[in-house]
Structure 1
Amino acid sequence: MARTRNTLLSALLTASLALAPLPSARALDTRLPDLGNSAGGLMTPKAEQELGRAFMRSVRLNQAVLDDPLIGDYIQQLGERLVEHSDAAGTPFHFFVIDNREINAFAGPGGYIGVYTGLISTTQTESELAAVLAHEIAHVTQQHLLRAWETASNMTLPNAAVLLAAIAIGVAAGGDAGLAAATMGQAGLIQEQINFTRANEQEADRIGIDILADTRFDPNAMPAFFSRMGRANRVYATKLPEFLMTHPVTTSRTADALGRAARYPARQVRDSLHFELTRARIALRNIEHPLAHAARLARQLEDGRYRNRLATEYERALSLLQGGRIAEADTLLARLLQASPDTIEFIVAKAEVEQRQGKAEAALRRLRQALLAHPTSRALVLSHAELATALGHYREAVDQLRDHLGMATDEPRIHALLARASGEAGNAVAAHRHQAEYHYLNGKLEEAILQLELALKTPGISFYDSSRIDARLRELREELAARKKRE
């Protein structure tokens, strides 16, 4: 019976990770961890972390994970702030952004939570964005996926097989439609699962509102967002936003959220500057004519039509920078730094301006100084490493990146920069090894294996490096063999 349960659970994990919410059904580049039984918990924390990392590799392989450390840092910090007021306080969570205009968010195993740029742009307040994150955090803390898998494992084989397909398609297609498509006549069984998923949504709403209130965000932001999504539900006659497919908004759900939020006193919460700056950076990704956009922003500033003056001036400075008007961007950024000298977004932009002006060493000094105050800032670490490498300060870049790697071992760009800086410094073995990890974290297993094979062929490689790389190579080859066997 235990073997049957593990087989069913492995089938579900493979199916759900390949589909949720990815458009491609490519297999994961990993072997699934061993699963326990109900008595000892469905999955150990270590196994769930391994599964989460595998999930993230599949996401990177199939989705456009946004490579903007400033936006990434903001969403991670916001998420961590919420997690600390949840049942999972102290547990590592990983928040990331998908570069997609769809309105959507999703939670995967191991505390991996993805947010689309379209959702960030659609939320009208920081509390609304926090509400969506709190909802996804609640899905993780309440182990909704694991509970669904456990339900499947305790069913008879034919019924469990139908339910596994229903869950997988439901996760990918969203809501009741995906479940109905998979059942083909198993009405009673699927109605049970539909009710379970609706209950999950309601539970995530209730817990999410509590997290919001405890984190001192506006708890009414969740029903407010639901209300706007509900209106959109009536407007979109053909294609619903992805959020409405995966998180159906009903009148009763909005009413429940309103009732839950009413338990807390009304609270006016000011949006943070970083929220506004993040929205500005996302808005610029869709601008084709930056100088025309800068002119529009100038008129808005003159007329007083802006949400946050500093954020609007920052967006205008970046537009001018993209359009080649470096001196005007420099003037604006100097004013912004005078108003808020410790804001990392302004520091990074000013360093980029200085680099474009031929003052790269001054830019590097600025970044070094900022890192003294913000040593864990991924945006500053990456900006500093890129510039230090470009200027030939390879050892400085490698040392900084290695220090940061302990806090971000699963960050592909850290490995990419380490590969470049190590190669420039003449350490070919380290260059190949980090390039292999970069490919592996992006789900490209065969490319990772090739880099490790090249590392082993490096003249003069030490016994220690050879042994370590050979062991890693065996692991990846076993994963590749397992993947091809599943395919």
Structure 2
Amino acid sequence: MEFIRAFRVRHWPGTTTLWPLLLGLLLLPVTTATGKEAPLPTFGGTGGGLISDQMEQQIGQQVLRSIRRSADQVTDPLVNDYMESIVYQLVPSVPLKDRQMSIVVIDSPAINAFAVPGNVIGVNGGLFLNARTEQQFASVVAHELAHLSQRHFARRMEQQETSAPLTIGGMIAGIILSAVTKSDAGIAAIMGTQALAAQNMLKYSRANEQEADRVGLEILAESGMDPRGMPEMFEIMMRQNRMQGNRMPEYLSTHPLTQSRVSDTRSRAEQFPVRGFEDALEYHLVRARLQVHYARSPVDAVNVFNDYVKTEEGHEMAAARYGLAVALLAAGRAEEAEEKLRELLEHNPMRITYQVTLAEALLHQDRMDDAREMLRTALRRNPDNRAITSMLARAELEADNAPRAVDHLRNLTRQYPGKEHFWLRLAEAEGQARDIVGVHRARAEYDILTGDLEAAERQLRQAQEKVPPDAPARQIITERLSQVSEALARSR
């Protein structure tokens, strides 16, 4: 039985609210908060070809800032930890000079994945829903990494230079349009000719796709994953395409897929040795979390997982039991969720996902001391673990211990300085701890990550005014303010 068929996915509002912003991004240059044009990459330079390596990095950073402003993201640390683990399992086998990745998970139940210059990799939460195995899921990530390694985006731009020139602002908007919204021809027509040009440029050619398939298969094999997951995933997408009629899955709008390509990929995959490939349990646990997240209602999720528990074995059984616990928690039945989670922990006592979810169930029952004790023990065993630290920060806040929460969130912002939601949570915790300077500094970092340098400058000036001239923090704030002011001056 497939979860995706059992659930009726609820409407997800994130994409609908993006249209005004995306229309502005598509038709206008990228700007600062006051309408002044922000610094954008220029064509040419070192690195050869139309787009230099430096320009690719700049494009990637601009795309990240725009996604942070405009797209709902899955901020669940358990999901993000898994996503990073699978990317970095594959990356050592990817022919890239720079293997540092920026990874995002878009909060949408649709199938989509994307890779853009500057080593930005993203997937929709819906990819987890539709990929029944970890091998299938990894195949899409490997395919996107292959596009990066072969610089297909840059090569596509070079081909388009004379036939359909685009402003960089339009190009970036097109990337975001493709990454976080439904990007079919009807939308392109609404957006106008500039959008259509962006869409055309973002569609990979048949040769690009075949090359990414070939390189992606090699990446999978070298990483210990099953290359056969790629044609399996393509067949799932083809079935979805047939079922949806005129509504093409988002992924296929920029990655054209034909039956001959599926057949070719299957033939190539069969040339690799047959080995015993086993999914990681964590993939199925994360998938279960997202299935509850996207279910029409928690009650529906409880009913489906109750049925599923009766039929499955192995990893699927553990995932079904875990999914039932998550669904019970979402349905406000925390005591029952706790019982299920403790049963799972009896068989796998060190599983972080079970521990973190049990702590959440305890918090729902206002058992703050029990949750904190368990999480502190888990953190001693797994220092700096993101999911444990994040849940412990939440537990400390709910227990009115804001200073301890601040400590944990500062640790998270040091480890993950590019994750804007941690800076927002830190600002909230600093406020509860009555550290106004800390609030301003955390808000400034959030504003920097979302590209609002004027707001960041204001926050840092307010922080500076509240710190005595001889305080050690004054110099740190002054240096950061200088960096922001210089970047703002360059944008004017």
Q: Which TM-score band applies after superposition, normalised by the shorter structure?
A: 0.7 to 0.9
Match for residue 145 of structure 2 among 104, 114, 137: 137
Distance in 1 between residues matched to 2:169 and 2:365, nearest whole Å: 57
Match for residue 121 of structure 1 among 121, 124, 129: 129
Instruction: State the AA in 2 paired with 1:224.
Output: E
Distance in 2 between residues matched to 1:396 and 1:194, nearest whole Å: 46
Secondary structure of 1:114's aligned partner: strand
Match for residue 49 of structure 1 among 54, 57, 66: 57
Whether the 8 Å contact between 1:166 and 1:182 is mirrored in structure 2 is no
Which stretch of structure 1 is more off in the superposition, 126-135 or 144-153? 144-153
Name the structure 2 match of 1:377.
385
Name the structure 1 match of 2:425.
417
Judged with a 3 Å threshold, the aligned counterparts in structure 2 of structure 1 residues 423 and 460 are, in CA distance, closer, same or farther, namely farther
**How far did residue 139 of structure 1 move?**
1.0
Name the structure 2 match of 1:278.
286
Distance in 1 between residues matched to 2:202 and 2:57, nearest whole Å: 28
Instruction: State the AA in 1 paired with 2:362.
Output: E
**How far did residue 306 of structure 1 move?**
9.1
Name the structure 2 match of 1:58.
66
Name the structure 1 match of 2:223.
215
Distance in 2 between residues matched to 1:269 and 1:460, nearest whole Å: 61
Listed one character per residue, the Cα deviations across residues 101-139 of structure 1 (whole Å, up to 9, x for unaligned) are: 221111122111111112220112111110100011111
Name the structure 1 match of 2:478.
467
Q: Does 1:326 align with 2:334?
A: yes
Whether the 8 Å contact between 1:135 and 1:208 is mirrored in structure 2 is yes
Instruction: State the AA in 2 paired with 1:124.
Output: R
TM-score with structure 1 setting the length = 0.81
**How far did residue 87 of structure 1 move?**
1.3
Judged with a 3 Å threshold, the aligned counterparts in structure 2 of structure 1 residues 294 and 231 are, in CA distance, closer, same or farther, namely closer
Q: Does 1:225 align with 2:229?
A: no
Match for residue 460 of structure 2 among 447, 452, 464: 452
Distance in 1 between residues matched to 2:185 and 2:295, nearest whole Å: 37
Distance in 1 between residues matched to 2:349 and 2:324, nearest whole Å: 18
Identity %: 32
**How far did residue 89 of structure 1 move?**
7.5
Whether the 8 Å contact between 1:104 and 1:243 is mirrored in structure 2 is yes
What is the aligned-residue RMSD (CA, Å)? Answer: 3.5
Name the structure 1 match of 2:165.
161
Secondary structure of 1:91's aligned partner: coil
Judged with a 3 Å threshold, the aligned counterparts in structure 2 of structure 1 residues 47 and 165 are, in CA distance, closer, same or farther, namely closer
**How far did residue 252 of structure 1 move?**
2.4
Whether the 8 Å contact between 1:175 and 1:246 is mirrored in structure 2 is no
Distance in 2 between residues matched to 1:478 and 1:65, nearest whole Å: 31
Name the structure 1 match of 2:263.
255
Name the structure 1 match of 2:416.
408
Listed one character per residue, the Cα deviations across residues 208-254 of structure 1 (whole Å, up to 9, x for unaligned) are: 01111111211111112222323333443321111121111112211
Distance in 1 between residues matched to 2:24 and 2:114, nearest whole Å: 17
Distance in 2 between residues matched to 1:41 and 1:123, nearest whole Å: 37
Whether the 8 Å contact between 2:117 and 2:148 is mirrored in structure 1 is yes
Secondary structure of 1:95's aligned partner: strand
Secondary structure of 2:278's aligned partner: coil
Unaligned 5+ segments in structure 2 are 1-17, 33-37
TM-score with structure 2 setting the length = 0.80
Secondary structure of 1:375's aligned partner: coil
Whether the 8 Å contact between 2:115 and 2:147 is mirrored in structure 1 is yes
Which stretch of structure 1 is more off in the superposition, 115-124 or 251-260? 251-260
Name the structure 2 match of 1:241.
249
Give the 5 Å matches for 1:339-378.
Answer: 339-378=347-386
Secondary structure of 1:409's aligned partner: coil
Distance in 1 between residues matched to 2:117 and 2:108, nearest whole Å: 21
Whether the 8 Å contact between 2:46 and 2:53 is mirrored in structure 1 is no
Instruction: State the AA in 1 paired with 2:395.
Output: L
**How far did residue 451 of structure 1 move?**
2.5
Whether the 8 Å contact between 1:371 and 1:381 is mirrored in structure 2 is yes
**How far did residue 457 of structure 1 move?**
3.4
Give the 5 Å matches for 1:101-120.
Answer: 101-120=109-128
